[in-house]
Amino acid sequence: MSRKIVINHNQLTLPFGKTVSLEYEDGRKAFWFLALVSVLSLAVYFYGINATAHNVSFREESERKVAELNVTLATLEFQYIALRNEVTLDTAREFGLAEIRKPLFIARDRSATLSFNTEAK
C-alpha cells in the first residue's frame, strides 16, 4: 500500500500573511552588525587575557613580598627571644622597675559592684 503525498503550492510558506524577503541593504546591515559583534568580542577576549596575565603577575609579586616579610618577621622574633633571655633583675632595676613585695590579687566575688573602690566616703 503506497500513500500518495500531495504538496500544495503554499504549503512551504510561513503562515504570517505576507512573504518577507531579505534585500541587499538588509544583508549589508547584517554583515556589519556581525562584523562589529566579532570585533567587540575579540576586544573583550584580549582584554580578559591581558587582565589575567596582569593579575597572575601581581599575585606572584605579592607572594614574593609575603615570603620576604615572613623571613624578616622570623628574624625579628629570634632577636626578641634573644633580648628577652638577656633581661635580668639588674637590667630591670636600671630601667626603674622594682620588685613588688606584696602583690595585689583580685578575687572573684559575687558582689554587685563594678569597681574596686567599695569604701563609703
Kindly report, residue by residue over 70-116, the tens digit of the pLDDT: 999 999 999 999 999 888 888 888 888 888 888 887 777 666 666 66
Model confidence at 38: pLDDT above 90: yes
Helices (H) and strands (E) in the chain, counts: 2, 0
pLDDT of residue 98: 85
The mean pLDDT of the chain is: 83
Residue 112 inside a domain? The answer is no
For the record, the C-alpha cell of 78 comes out as: 629570634
Q: Domain residues for 76?
A: 24-94
Asked if the structure places residue 111 within a domain, the reply is: no
What's the number of domains the chain is made of?
1
Tell me the whole-structure pTM to 2 decimals. Answer: 0.47
- Per the domain annotation, does 118 fall within a domain? no
Beta-carbon-side half-sphere exposure of residue 62 (alpha carbons within 13 Å): 6
pLDDT exceeds 60 at position 49 = yes
The answer as to whether 6 is a domain residue is: no
Q: Is residue 113 part of a domain?
A: no
The answer to whether residues 91 and 99 touch, using CB atoms and an 8 Å cutoff, is no
> Could you give the percent of the chain with pLDDT greater than 90?
44
The average pLDDT across 49-78 equals 97
Cell readout for 116 is: 574596686
Sign of CA dihedral 3, 4, 8, 13: positive
